Structure 1
Amino acid sequence: RWLAWAALLALVAAPLVAFASQAATGRRTVTIGAKNFSEQFILARLVGRRLEAAGYRVTYREGLGSAVIFRALSGGDIDVYVDYAGTLWANEMKRTGTPPHEAMDAQVGEWAKQRGVTSLGSLGFENAYALAMRPRPGVRTIADLDAPSLVLGADLEFLDRPEWAALRHTYALNFKATRSFAPTFMYDALKSGDADVIAAFSSDGRVAADGLTVLADPKGALPGYDALLLVHDARLIPELRPLAGAIPVDLMRRANLMVDGQKQSPDAAAAWLDAAITARK
């Protein structure tokens, strides 16, 4: 009979020991969120690498839209993700001004804090919306565009976003047509002639690789888009804080190009980026 009691005690004790171990270390499964484009997949896996190295188990929820991902974080459905200051400023905070980057980042951080989210600050680069096109003589700014003769290509969200409304209003843009593409195919649309101008991303390696002209925004219609690392679970902060300010835009462009141009996996690009960040220290 004592053997039976010993077996029963072992069954009861095992989960208690596991629970005590997990409680002592604070380690658990962390859910990392991402939107639906390459940079987000890469950054999610970079965060995952750092957390796995610290002993966490990680899972990913990808393809979340800008309209839902912050609420998923503040509601605890995900634990960490990267968003962009201008996106939160315009879409979630419903703000329309364009303050300097540091002021915007600070205000976004305070707004997030009131919702149970900690911003660890900028990763060191911004991924701003920018209109881009193949070089044309005399066209250097958005104000130079002859919009009625041109087709605008954009990602699946841009044409419904307040940033597009601000651009359209500020520059009185009335394109001949607008077309939506998955982000990966916008650049192909320029090559094929399906679009003349695209709503590109400033950290996308294909902008430089394809020799595109990024049109200046002299009237300041668009806000800054610093990449902000947002955390719901404060226990993750010590492992992730070293990423703040650690990624200059040239490294992010190269990592993005590995996926979008060279067809490598986000895991491979994240591993390269992690090594490049470490090498810069």
Structure 2
Amino acid sequence: MRKILISTLIILFGINFIYAADKVVVGAKAFTEGYVLSSMVSLLLQENGIKVEEKFGLSSFPLRKAIETGQVDAYVDYTGTAWAAYFGHTENIYDPHRLFELVAQEDLEKHDIIWLDMINFNNTYGLAVRQSFARENNINTLSDLAEYINSGKGKDIIFGVNPEYYERSDGIFAVIDTYNIDIPKNKVRTMDAGLTYGALSKGNIDVAMIYSTDAQILRFDLKILEDDKAFFPHYNPSVLVRKEVLDKYPQIREILRPLTLYLNEDIIIRLNYLVDYEGLEPKNVARNYLRGLGLIK
């Protein structure tokens, strides 16, 4: 009886091991964009015959630890997050392609984690104005804004930023210094990050700190000013895959290439908007987008 029991356990363990080895565990960061992007990863893999288990809704550091320890096989992360938060570098790399190369190289060498293609949008900080204000004053870049303010026309301009960005050494006053904007400190007001968009739309402030792929940009029809001196750090996303998994499923690279081919800032803002303000589920938004491209059935 004991031999039968042991044999049965060995068989069951073997089945479970085979099952675990024949699926890819996809993780997702716990915010709208993280859910949408990782849902695309999951759907594309499943469409191409790869079994998937989803572990969605983790914050950055637990999810990062999960891929390092093999509890998660693939998920979407950002170059700037890895460079500063995970790897602890303090030097700012302003060339997005160079930053991607450095992050990818370090992760492969130290953790056997591969970064696939860089996805073509940057979820970073930015400054925005009302579309009407930009049109009326021909302001498209931060240098244009600086020229407008320094000319005296913008002497009453009010900036709105969150308290953290007000205090940070690389925050709003570093932006002001970089672009030589002549504005007194009392013209920079602090408020919760989520409130800057509405305050800008209502005219309570004139320039707002924003996150460049936030759905509220579309909701309030705001104009992101071009960072023409490349001040803001880069947070380009990419799919991270454990090398062991990519060696087993080398087709994953081609399966997920459409994320690089078909995503950009305008598109991801619209997809985020469908979740945050139209109330659609992230997976349904991802599915509908991929179906529209003919990538899944």
What TM-score, normalized to structure 2? Answer: 0.72
Cα distance per residue 1:166-217 (max 9 Å; x no partner): 52542367452122234xx553343345654333344445435533221122
Which residue of 226, 245, 248 maps to 1:216? 226
Which residue of 105, 108, 113 maps to 1:110? 105
Aligned equivalents of 1:59 and 1:199: distance in 2?
32
Identity of aligned residues (%): 23
Given the alignment of the two structures, is residue 261 of structure 1 paired with residue 272 of structure 2, yes or no?
no
Quick one: structure 1 residues 222 and 71, their matched pair in 2 at CA, closer, same or farther if it must change by over 3 Å? farther
Q: Secondary structure at the match of 2:279?
A: coil
Which residue of 263, 275, 290 maps to 1:248? 263
Structure 2 portions without partners, runs of 5+: 150-154
- Match runs of 1:135-214 below 5 Å: 135=131, 136=133, 137-138=136-137, 139-143=139-143, 144=145, 146=149, 149-154=157-162, 164=171, 166-171=174-179, 174=185, 175-182=187-194, 186-193=196-203, 195-204=205-214, 206-208=216-218, 210-214=220-224
What TM-score, normalized to structure 1? Answer: 0.75
Quick one: structure 1 residues 134 and 20, their matched pair in 2 at CA, closer, same or farther if it must change by over 3 Å? closer
1:231 alignment counterpart? 241
Cα distance per residue 1:80-127 (max 9 Å; x no partner): 33222234345443222412x322221221122233121112133333
Aligned equivalents of 2:175 and 2:31: distance in 1?
23
Cα distance per residue 1:208-262 (max 9 Å; x no partner): 5533221122322123332221223531563642323233214323322211232
2:152 alignment counterpart? none
Contact 1:125 1:247 in 2 (8 A): no
Quick one: structure 1 residues 19 and 90, their matched pair in 2 at CA, closer, same or farther if it must change by over 3 Å? closer
Q: Which amino acid aligns with 1:125?
A: F
